Amino acid sequence: MTPRASLHSRDTVSDTLDVVLLGSARLGIRRGAVRRWLTALVRKLAPSARSVGVRFCADPAMRSLNRARRGKDQTTDVLSFPGGDTPEGYHLGDIVISVPQARRQAEAAGHSLAREIRTLLLHGVLHCLGYDHETDDGAMNRLERRLRRRWLDEP
């Protein structure tokens, strides 16, 4: 898939960005911090985006979604579903994150859950922009490494 970032240039900057976060409160995610960080990231990478959705879930829901969408009967850390043009404007897409999996990965990497959530959101945003690390000969991975240096410093 060809990345769609070039389709959403600064010439069409959206005045508002709706960031919809679902499932965060009961899983211990700080909504305000996530919303501020994700808003800044999306405004930089997809300035014409009008909306983006994020759902935080537990492993059983992620496993079910991964099985239904990708045919893999196991949990995963993040799934992304690119959006498109809507009557309200350009919807970047929807990102689903397994919080228990994110916690395990954060512990294994020796960093905070907040940093891991940001890592997974960045990864999901890139997929929503059309990048695919499974087919792009490393383009997404190279870009993601560069963006991590800028966007993932601990607060």
CA angle 117, 120, 125 (to 5 degrees): 120
- pTM, full prediction: 0.87
Q: What is the pLDDT of residues 95-139, one digit of tens each?
A: 999 999 999 999 999 999 999 999 999 999 999 999 988 888 889
Q: What is the pLDDT of residues 43-95, one digit of tens each?
A: 999 999 999 999 999 999 999 999 999 999 999 999 999 999 999 999 999 99
**Could you say which DSSP state residue 25 is in?**
G
Q: Of 118, 150, 149, whose CA–CA distance to 37 is shortest?
A: 118
Count of structural domains within the chain: 1
Which residues form the domain of 34?
Answer: 5-151
Mean of the pLDDT values across residues 37-41? 95
